[in-house]
Amino acid sequence: MIRGFYPIVVVVLVFTVIGVAGHRWLFNEPQSAAEFSLTDFLSSENIDIDDGLFKKAEPGYVLRFPQDHIAHPEFRSEWWYINGNLQHRDDAQQRFGFQFTVFRQALRTQKRTQQQATSGWLAPQFYMGHAGLGVFTQNRHLVAERFSRQGPGLAGTSSQPLSVWLENWQLRSENDQDLFPAQLNVGVQHNDAGGSFSYRLRLIPEKPRVYQGDQGYSPKRPEPGFASYYYSYTRLRVEGEIRFDDQTIPVTGAAWYDHEWASNSLASYQSGWDWFSLQLEDGRELMFMVLRSKDESGQADFRQVSLFSQSGERLPLDAGNIALDVLEHWQSESGVIWPSGWNMKIPEYDLDLRILPRQKTQENNLSVRYWEGAVSVEGSHAGQGYVELTGYE
């Protein structure tokens, strides 16, 4: 790292944490950055939802493409997320998983001025990137993170070509009309969380874009006005290569893509979420999310579900008709106790699924701590997917 750039990185990290944690880092007792949670990105605990500082998701908005693929700086929080299950192109027994996420956090509203137009450093947008690679035959979980202010080309999005990047981590479309097909390039030279790794992957859509919630309006609690805009590509074919330990391995597989933005989604009584993205071998996909409420809140957990047919059509399904039971738990070295295996039943579609981590040790113990892991699906139907868990202690 260039020595003169180091103070800027420190400032970026501090203000990113401030933005994530709603300023509590400044005024409370010092605490480890890893105590912060992904739930802080969508929390409304420290903002007034009616103060007009940020836009909020409202029903009736029609998502527009390709422009809604890129950043929405008038909203407080945003993320672009990809997960995938991979296998060695010539040996299906060698399995891997990958995650790539870019988070954008606005520290204040975007007000374009002439000065801002000539200096990207004045844009009040900070970015955090997470990358992960699971090597399941070795029970290894490699992770890395980066931070940057938007700055002059350091992080951001573009419409020509459609792309999102943080330094040299980049998702870039092959055309300007739609995000996919796209190239994903991630390289990690060395980091304290697991060493060097990289992946160069091509993502090709096998199904059309789909909308979560009500045509992309995705409520996060029962009260009106607390929601995000949210769409997905639920099945992307993957071709490319991964690299670790000086090995370059050709891979194929399937991935899932989410893009979501909001200003005021979660309530103070909501402790976190359990999120499932499952790809069944019969061609259907399932997104199921449980936003957990704290026991003392008196509030019920809030659920959302989407089940998509082989042709990509949304199938009718009430989230209340899903039974989800945790099979066991696992305690990480950080001391957090995570659910580790689930049984999911959806009687109206004759689904009785056993969802198992490909390895338990898929905790992302970064500046924010959460569990992000590849899973296998067995039982009435076979498949694969990813699970994200936040807010556990």
Residue 198: pLDDT over 60: yes
Find, among 278, 291, 253, the residue nearest to 356 by Cα: 278
Phi, psi for 118 (deg, rounded to 5):
-100, -5
pLDDT one-digit tens code per residue, 13-42: 434 443 333 322 222 222 333 444 555 555
| pLDDT on residue 120 | 62
Q: What is the mean pLDDT of residues 156-181?
A: 95
Q: Which residues, 6 or more positions from 12, have their beta carbon under 8 angstroms from its beta carbon?
A: 126, 147, 148, 149
| DSSP H or E run through 20 | helix 6-21
Structural domains in the chain, sorted by start: 3-389 (2.40.370.10)
- Of 39-48, 153-162, 186-195, 316-325, the poorest mean pLDDT is in 39-48
pLDDT one-digit tens code per residue, 284-318: 999 999 999 988 777 889 999 999 999 999 999 99
Give the integer Cα–Cα distance in Å for 67 and 51.
26
| Residue 114 to residues 32, 122, 152, 158, Cα–Cα distance (Å) | 38, 11, 15, 20
pLDDT one-digit tens code per residue, 351-371: 999 999 999 999 999 999 999
| DSSP H or E run through 117 | helix 114-118
| Residue 181 to residues 98, 109, 172, 235, 239, Cα–Cα distance (Å) | 18, 32, 9, 12, 11
